[in-house]
Amino acid sequence: MASPAANRQSITTPNSGQWTTGLFDCFDDSSNCFMTWCCPFITFGRNVEIIDKGKTSPADASRTYYILGSFGFAFCYSYPYRKKLREQFSLKEQPCGDCLVHCCCIQCALCQEHRELINRGLDPTIGWAANVARMIQNEKVAPVVEAGMNRVAP
């Protein structure tokens, strides 16, 4: 089985319209699967920060998700972010509508969205600012110094 790093795509690569992993491939990233199963609000908050490009804090998103989840309505808050993620990467609405995916399989959906961000070069665990810094750092390339003519002293 290939490592997650081997499956990463560049953010700028054209998209085929397909998700990079399936909805039920949760164990492809077992640590995130475990975290999402125990504390889905944490995974959701991290994902939202990246999907919203830093406009929504993970703490605010997690808190809202947790409160709504206490009454069984977390999916009402979470599924619009799946739609937003799909729109950002031109992904198909699979295997069914976003609301139904989040209503029936919310942990699987959150895991898939987390893996999608990871596979596209964005790491929700480090936050938006660190991802931006990493993207800027990756664009900086040291100048190439060619060996060639040497200056000879007279």
% of the chain at pLDDT higher than 70? 80
* Domain with 85 in it: 25-134
Mean pLDDT for the stretch of residues 107-117 = 95
pLDDT in tens, 78-109: 999 999 999 999 998 988 888 999 999 999 99
pLDDT recorded at residue 139? 77
Backbone angles phi, psi at 61, to 5 degrees: -65, -40
Reduce the secondary structure of 114-153 to three states and give it as a string.
Answer: HHHHHHCCCCCCCHHHHHHHHHHHHHCCCCCCCCCCCCCC
pLDDT in tens, 61-72: 999 999 999 999
pLDDT in tens, 9-60: 444 444 667 899 988 988 888 999 999 999 999 999 999 999 999 999 999 9
- Of the candidates 67, 60, 50, which has an alpha carbon nearest to the alpha carbon of residue 110? 50
Beta carbons within 8 Å of 55's beta carbon, 6+ residues apart: none
Domain count, the chain: 1
* H-only helix segments in the chain: 30-38, 40-51, 58-70, 74-89, 98-104, 106-119, 127-139
Backbone angles phi, psi at 109, to 5 degrees: -65, -45
**41 inside domain:** yes
CA within 13 Å, CB half, 76: 9
Asked which of 66-75, 127-136, 139-148 is least confident by mean pLDDT, the reply is 139-148
